[in-house]
Amino acid sequence: MTDLAARGIAVYAYDAYGHGKSEGPRALVTRFSDLVDDYLARLQQTKELIVSRVSSGAWSSPPPLFACGHSLGGLTAATAAVQDASGLAGLLVLSPAMDVPWTPSLRVLALVGSAMARITPRARLVPAVRPEDMNPIPERVREYVEDPLNTVGNVCAATGNETLKAFRALERSRSRLKLPLFAHHGAVDKCTYPPGTEAFVEGAGSADKTLKLYPGGFHEVMFGPEAVLVRRNVADWILARARAAPKL
């Protein structure tokens, strides 16, 4: 993220298992805890990198570390932060997947989800997001569809079932989150569910909470028409908390 880097914020990212350039069947999640464990492992690697750079003299002092996640990564990051917030200065969840609108068809699907996940875990039976709902800018949608690292199409039965279970688990545990919390969402996002993000922020135990809802915003507000404002708000929030954050 060059915009954040330009303001002195280093960003460390990775491809989740089964996504991007990482190994594993594409977009298949048989245990959501695997995603969370990988996230916590990546945080630990980042903490060790920070210590190494300070020890070598490359950095004069350890900078504060913030956890962040987008879409399904937001659910992953939040779950990880509830489990282990040690060494973190805050949590950012960007257009996170925190819940779904419980339509009658989805309720039926959820009832049989566990059985389908066991019998046909890789079957792409769960309705997925539509590319045109990602961004109102046609060029961005075309880039998303043509990117070979993206998985476009229905969601695997196991992935859908594990995600629904993770929604409920975080709903039960979110009050334990005490970190400074930032969340944003496009108000007309059809890929993830803005009311789910609002409920997460409301139910989190954090004393310092910020929720930004962007009128007319789609899922990818970081790359939509409002991108300049969205990125500035993210950077402003990080830098404001970084000044008072405890060191590693």
**Does CATH number 1.10.760.10 belong to domain 2-242?**
no
The percent of residues above 70 in pLDDT, for the chain, comes to 99
pLDDT of residue 247: 62
Distances (CA, A) of 42 to 38, 107, 172: 6, 34, 25
Token pair listed for 99? 């819940």
Q: Distance (Å, rounded) from C-alpha 70 to C-alpha 220?
A: 9
pLDDT of residue 112: 81
pLDDT of residue 143: 97
Instruction: Return phi, psi of residue 82, to 5°.
Output: -65, -40
The percent of residues above 90 in pLDDT, for the chain, comes to 88
Distances (CA, A) of 209 to 140, 178, 200, 213: 30, 10, 11, 13
Residue pLDDT, tens place only, 73-111 = 999 999 999 999 999 999 999 999 999 998 877 787 778
In which residue ranges of the chain is pLDDT below 70? 246-248
**Other CB atoms within 10 Å distance of the CB of residue 81:** 30
Residue ranges covered by each domain of the chain? 2-242
Phi-psi region of 20 (alpha: psi -120 to 50; beta: other; left: phi over 0): left
Measured CA angle at 200 (ends 168, 151), to 5 deg: 70
pTM for the structure as a whole: 0.95
